[in-house]
Amino acid sequence: MPGRSLRRREPVLWMTLTAVLMAANVVLCLFSVPVALGGHFYLNDIVIDTAALLLDPLGAFLVGGVGAFLGDLFFYPPSMFVSLIAHGLEAALIAFLYGRKKHGFGASLAITILGGVVMVAGYTLLRPFVYGTWEASLAKLPYECLQAFTGSLLSVVLVLKCGIGARFSAISNHR
């Protein structure tokens, strides 16, 4: 699996890519679209899913979980641990299932959507500990589903159709 071997073979490159993607996740936590019932629609799932398609599970967890944790720490601290768990598991699962094998558009989209389901389930189950009610958690469910699907679709387009995956492979295999 090149993502894992990149961490061993080129640790500085792996750390740099992980850090840049983590920073992008934190920055995207700044930007949201307000939605009904006091919720927000975030675009950071695009970065999280893209990182999960490019990196190994550890790098993906760092970008997804720790990046979202830091974004919440700076901008909305009550949900930072929920974000760490939900986005961290989402990213690690996608990276694990995607591996570094060649997948087509449909399989890649299915893998990222499965990761999105894990994220949505994590937020839905853990958010009552932040907001105190299941109603508040369930009210945000449709927007999280939209966020997860948007992140899935756009990350697969970026990696497979816009050539980011091929460029990443060329960089990671360069000696």
Q: What is the DSSP letter of 34?
A: E
Half-sphere exposure of 107 (CA within 13 A, CB side): 8
- pLDDT band of residue 129 (cuts 50, 70, 90) is confident
What pLDDT digit, counting tens, does each position of 15-44 carry?
A: 999 999 999 999 998 888 887 766 778 899
Proportion of the chain above pLDDT 90, given as a percent: 61
Domain ranges of the chain: 2-173
Q: What is the pTM of this model?
A: 0.90
| DSSP code per residue over 79-98 | GHHHHHHHHHHHHHHHHHHH
| pLDDT tens track for 57-79 | 999 999 999 999 999 999 889 99
Please tell me the class of the 2-173 domain. mainly alpha
| CA distances (Å), origin 87, targets 5, 161, 172 | 23, 24, 25
* pLDDT exceeds cutoff 50 at 2: no
CA distance linking residue 130 with residue 170, whole number of Å: 43
Q: Are 145 and 42 in contact (CB under 8 A)?
A: no
Helix orientation angle between 11-28 and 2-9, rounded to the nearest 10 degrees: 110
